[in-house]
Amino acid sequence: MPIYKRSLFSWVFKTSVPLQLLLLLLIIGVVFLRVLPLEIQKRIINDVLAVGDVSQLLVYCLIFLLAVVFSSLLKLSVNAVQTVIGQRALTDMRRELYQHILRLPLSFFRKTPTGTVVASLVTELSASANFVGAAIAVPLSNILTLVAIGAYLIWLNALLGIVTLSIYPIALFIVPLVQRGVNTWNKRRVDSSNKMASRITESVSGISEIHAQGSFQDEERSYNSIIERLLKIRIIWTLYRYGVKVTNNLFVGLGPVVVMLLGGYLLMQGETELGSIVAFLSAQEKLYDPWKELIDFYQTQQDASVRYQKVMQIFTGETEFTLIAEQRSPPAIRGSIEIRDLEFVTPNGIKLLDQLNLSLEAGEHLALVGFSGSGKSTLAKCIGQLYSYTGGELLIDGRSVAQMSKEEVVRSVGFISQDPIIFSGTINDNLTYACNALADYPDRDNDREPVSLDDKIAVLQQAGVFVDILRFGLNTILDHQRHPELEKRFLKIRANFQENFGAELAEHVEFYYQDNYLYHSTIVENLIFGSIQSDLTLDSLEENREFLTFLDSVNLKLPLLETGAELLKQTVDILGRDVPRDNVFFEQTPVEPSKYDRYLELADQLGTAPLTKLATENRLLLMKLAFRYIPARHKIVDLQQLLEKLILAGRHEFRVWSGEHMVGAVSFYKDTEYIRSQSILNNIFYGNLTSDSPKVEDRVNQCIVQLLIEEDLLEQVAAIGMEFDVGNRGDKLSGGQQQKLSIARVLLKKPKVLIMDEATSALDNNSQSRIQNLIEKWKGSRTVISVIHRLDLLPSFDKVAVMKTGKIVESGEPQKLLADQGVLHELVHGKKR
């Protein structure tokens, strides 16, 4: 049964049976231990106190004590088991709901806000899970306790027992009546809160319009009416909730009165003993607890089912495809495509595709062109099974795409979209994304081979992103424990570089010369001029007290603090307080966006006291800024000549000082040694590249590639580059790199049918042409459907279909259509003005 049709209660039995049985046993133990003290109490009063037997008193008290202790321990165990069951249920719900959500049609995601999906999975389900954990334990243990105590009381004195217990059925009738009120108003509260949330979202996202129109009061009015209604609802809802408690307490409070009245009378008549009356009175209290818990549980259950239903309502919908093919081995796809009277109508009745007819032999290449909004992209998505068409037929190798399983489609069809989605992780994770997905489907013909490094490099080259990946590898600081053998080989490349290209590129490299200041390095790198091989890293050096003393001794402490303060002042002055904490705004300042709030606090304190009087942690923050300052990049502050001289002098002093204080821990830059704190590229250069010129960049790439090939290191550096972390949703990659990577990952899959939805639109002409040339070679072997906007690519396609407002207005060979001077001709050559 699909998850959205399942009842909340069905989750109770889904969790492991042994745990539920264990729970049952524990509960029986608890109930027994709850009743036992009542009997002990009675015996102490009736038997022991009357006779005055001290040893008997001790025995009874010991039993009483043990009962209390064990009852608490058992209760703890019940809670533990209950929690495990509840949390497992939550995990199950989250797992299955997520699975369901991922497979919902794309149209679902267009109309459902991401926030709703997130909130449902993250917060809303936990209330339901609490209920599932408690669903058996709470009612069972409390009902059993009630029954056991009730039975014991009747056994003690039937009349008194029955009268005392008769209160509860009445309460059982009245309490749900009040609870119904709670539920009604709770639903209204949830609706009203949602309304409020969407109102706020709308206002905030439209804030510029509100400012532009000055419609503040109007917005406030509509918001106020919602919160005033919410106010009323919340008050009534809360009153009802208290109503449940009060009604309940009232009935329970009546208990002792009955016991005292009737029990007292019976005692006076000699029909019962004092011990029984005491037992009855304590039983009242013991009855109250389980009763209260039952009522609370009832409320939890009501609340949980309201929320659960709301969540499941959101995700009502069926998957539009089957995941795994039912046939044992679906036939291999050749790639012919037949489209007959194809229609795609949106749920609100807009016809995006209208009576399309088209046929394509296996291995033919089709270009889809047309005006924007003409349905090219929709058609491409229908062929790729991303949208399910609403009428007509779409056949691949004579089989309907609508009937095909996802398994068959992803095996044979590659889809590259215009807006590439790159997931967080490494280049490699993204590159193998499609292939890894395939690996999760059954391997029908046992013909699956693992993707080799050579395959990956080949597609990266085809997509034109190989050099970028290589560069990522070169910019990596080598992990010498993982690649201990590589350092020597890079040193060899350094020598070769110097010999072959050193003179040519010298003006674009800032070499690591002992007497030169490095404007493309941080202050701390300038000062240390080496790498530190202990727990201390360059990033945390400002926290090292001895090092700070050293700075003081070479007169650098105050100038560095001043530099830090100036950097901070300028940053705050330029960026302001409200700038988004986005890397892009922080590229020219050493302030890290994630720490900007902390730095803002510090900025407020600057100027109120001399820098040396700042709190230690604040001084460390300023020191850190100064340490990270790179003059060539952080142009908001100029490097003072005096500071430059002091740092160069400090560099010499540090050599002496570290020889005494950090023996063996520092290895200084030396042109015969690998520098572990610097990137591979800087190691090859033995310096920093200073140029941004594309020509220099190209030349550097050529040289480095040549050197890497000579040393047989190209693949290894590329592999290191593939470990580059692309950042959140790939934000460390440029738009072009993202697009190329998304092309490469589909190429790696070698699909029989390739659909490209303006896949190369973000790329430069050379890259577009390179990919087009590659695809041309597939003529006859792979079917290609490409939505293109660059019409000069048309000649390389077998067929072209021109679309306009959901219809194919022309189709056929490109040359022929152009000669006919129809719509395609108009598209290519522009309208006659």
Partner 1 sequence: MNSSTERNVESDKRTGFEQDLDHLRKVPLFQGLDYECLKLIAMLCKKIDMIEGDQLMVQGEDDGYAYYLVSGSLQIFHRQDDVDYPMKTLEPGQFIGGLALLGKTIRLFTVQANEKSTLLRLHRDNFQKVMEQFAGNMTRIAANLASELTGWEKDILNLTERKELEGGNQVLGISLL
For partner 1, the binding residue among 154, 314, 696, 823 (CB under 8 A) is 696
- Assess 214 for contact with partner 1 (CB under 8 A): no
Site pattern 572..591 for partner 1 (x: CB under 8 A): --xxx-xxx-x-xx-xxx--
Closest approach of partner 1 to the CB of residue 775, in Å: 20
Closest approach of partner 1 to the CB of residue 580, in Å: 7
Q: Which residues, other chains included, contact 545 with Cβ-Cβ below 8 Å and sequence gap of 6+?
A: none
- Assess 830 for contact with partner 1 (CB under 8 A): no
The size of the interface with partner 1 (CB under 8 A), counted in residues, is 39
Query: Chain centroid to CA 146: how far?
Result: 47
Residue whose tokens read 């009349």: 159
Quote the tokens at residue 550: 């050293």
- Assess contact for 188 and 276: CB atoms under 8 A: no
Site pattern 387..406 for partner 1 (x: CB under 8 A): --------------------
Interacting span for partner 1 (CB under 8 A) from 231-239, 345-353, 443-451, 633-641: 633-641
- Assess 621 for contact with partner 1 (CB under 8 A): no
- Assess 773 for contact with partner 1 (CB under 8 A): no
What's the CA gap between 97 and 121, in Å, rounded?
A: 8
Closest approach of partner 1 to the CB of residue 569, in Å: 7
> Which amino acid is it at 721?
G
- Assess 498 for contact with partner 1 (CB under 8 A): no
Q: At what angle do helices 557-575 and 596-605 cross, to 10 degrees?
A: 110
Q: Which is nearer to partner 1, 249 or 640 (CB)?
A: 640
Q: Which is nearer to partner 1, 1 or 584 (CB)?
A: 584
Partners of residue 804 on adjacent β-strands? 807
Query: Chain centroid to CA 537: how far?
Result: 31
Strands 799-804 and 365-370: parallel
- Assess contact for 133 and 82: CB atoms under 8 A: yes
Q: Which is nearer to partner 1, 664 or 694 (CB)?
A: 694
- Assess 208 for contact with partner 1 (CB under 8 A): yes
Q: Which is nearer to partner 1, 277 or 505 (CB)?
A: 505
Closest approach of partner 1 to the CB of residue 248, in Å: 55
Q: Which of 559, 624, 572 is nearest to 603 (CA)?
A: 572
Alpha carbon distances (Å) from 132 to 136, 183, 289, 527, 622: 8, 19, 21, 62, 53
Long-range own/partner contacts, residues 607-616 (CB < 8 A, 24 or more apart)? 611/558, 611/561, 611/562, 611/565, 612/558, 612/561
DSSP state letter for 189: H
- Assess 110 for contact with partner 1 (CB under 8 A): no
Strands 509-511 and 687-689: antiparallel
- Assess 563 for contact with partner 1 (CB under 8 A): yes
Closest approach of partner 1 to the CB of residue 577, in Å: 11
Site pattern 710..739 for partner 1 (x: CB under 8 A): -------------------------x----
Centre a 10 Å sphere on the Cβ of residue 222 and count the other Cβ atoms it contains. 11
Q: Is the backbone of residue 531 left (phi > 0), alpha (psi -120 to 50) or beta? A: beta
DSSP state letter for 112: S
Alpha carbon distances (Å) from 324 to 89, 242, 520, 555: 27, 53, 55, 72
For partner 1, the binding residue among 144, 167, 565, 787 (CB under 8 A) is 565
Closest approach of partner 1 to the CB of residue 638, in Å: 5
- Assess 703 for contact with partner 1 (CB under 8 A): no
Site pattern 507..536 for partner 1 (x: CB under 8 A): ------------------------------
Q: Which is nearer to partner 1, 248 or 796 (CB)?
A: 796
- Assess 637 for contact with partner 1 (CB under 8 A): yes
Closest approach of partner 1 to the CB of residue 634, in Å: 9
- Assess 635 for contact with partner 1 (CB under 8 A): yes
Phi, psi of 246 (to 5 degrees): -65, -45
Quote the tokens at residue 463: 């997509």
Strands 753-757 and 413-416: parallel
Q: Which is nearer to partner 1, 624 or 782 (CB)?
A: 624
- Assess 769 for contact with partner 1 (CB under 8 A): no
Binding site for partner 1 (CB under 8 A): 208, 212, 562-563, 565-566, 569-570, 574-576, 578-580, 582, 584-585, 587-589, 606-607, 610-611, 635-638, 640, 691-696, 735, 764-765, 833
